Amino acid sequence: MTQLPRPDLDPGCWLDAGGQQVHLMESDTHPPGANHFAIRVDDIDAVVTDLQRQGLEVHRIPLIPGVGHQAFVHDPFGNLLELNQPD
Domain ranges of the chain: 1-34, 36-87
Percent of the chain with pLDDT over 90: 36
Kindly report the pTM of this predicted structure: 0.69
The CATH fold assigned to 36-87 is 2,3-Dihydroxybiphenyl 1,2-Dioxygenase; domain 1 (3.10.180)
pLDDT score, position 33? 62
Residue 83, judged by CB atoms within 10 A of its CB (0-12, 13-18, 19+), counts as buried
In this predicted model, what pLDDT tens digit does every residue of 22-61 receive, in sequence order? 777 776 766 666 677 888 899 999 999 999 999 999 999 9
Q: Quick check: 14 and 86 in contact, CB under 8 A?
A: no
Percent of the chain with pLDDT over 70: 92
Q: Quick check: 68 and 60 in contact, CB under 8 A?
A: no
The span from the CA of 84 to the CA of 47, in Å, is 10
Within its chain, how far is the Cα of 41 from the centroid? 10
